[in-house]
């Protein structure tokens, strides 16, 4: 079975500071990993994904994440926070790449990011 744990339900940073949102996963098979962002009363927008290959993944809006198999982690980072980054962030794991392999996403609990001016 797969699971995702996001450490810290709420993270607060100052504008311009480093953003680090933590995600650890559990999977019995090589996972596909995702980070999504959700703004209030909206759906989820994909920030980035890890499938295979390069372990450092770059996404939109300056975010990136590194897949570390030995640590079963997929932490999300951004060098310099912007006010517009304030939102809810979800880490997710999928067993399969398509429905035949199991297309369900298992989400972490979410981390609310606040950015102080």
Partner 1 sequence: GAVVSQHPSRVICKSGTSVKIECRSLDFQATTMFWYRQFPKKSLMLMATSNEGSKATYEQGVEKDKFLINHASLTLSTLTVTSAHPEDSSFYICSALDREGHQPQHFGDGTRLSIL
Q: Of the candidates 63, 90, 113, 115, which one interacts with partner 1 according to CB under 8 A?
A: 90
Q: How far is Cα 101 from Cα 52, in angstroms, rounded to an integer?
A: 16
> Does 98 interact with partner 1 (rule: CB under 8 A)?
yes
Nearer to partner 1, 17 or 105 (CB): 105
> Does 26 interact with partner 1 (rule: CB under 8 A)?
no
| Residues comprising the chain, all counted | 117
Q: Of the candidates 46, 54, 60, 83, which one interacts with partner 1 according to CB under 8 A?
A: 46
Q: Are 86 and 27 in contact (CB under 8 A)?
A: no
Exposed, middle or buried: residue 77 (CB in 10 Å: 0-12, 13-18, 19+)?
middle
Distance in Å, CB of 104 to partner 1, minimum: 6
Q: Are 113 and 85 in contact (CB under 8 A)?
A: yes
> Does 86 interact with partner 1 (rule: CB under 8 A)?
no
Interface with partner 1 (CB under 8 A): 32, 34, 36, 41-46, 49, 51, 90, 94, 96-100, 103-105, 107-110
């Amino acid at each position: 079975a797969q699971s995702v744990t996001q450490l810290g339900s709420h993270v607060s940073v100052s504008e311009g500071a480093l953003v680090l949102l933590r995600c650890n996963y559990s999977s019995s098979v090589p996972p596909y990993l995702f980070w999504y962002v959700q703004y209030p009363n909206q759906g989820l927008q994909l920030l980035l994904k890890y499938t295979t290959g390069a372990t450092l993944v770059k996404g939109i809006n300056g975010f990136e994440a590194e897949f570390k198999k030995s640590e079963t982690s997929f932490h999300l980072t951004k060098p310099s926070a912007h006010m517009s980054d304030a939102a809810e962030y979800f880490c997710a794991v999928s067993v399969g790449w398509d429905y035949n392999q199991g297309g369900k996403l298992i989400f972490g609990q979410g981390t609310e990011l606040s950015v102080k001016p």
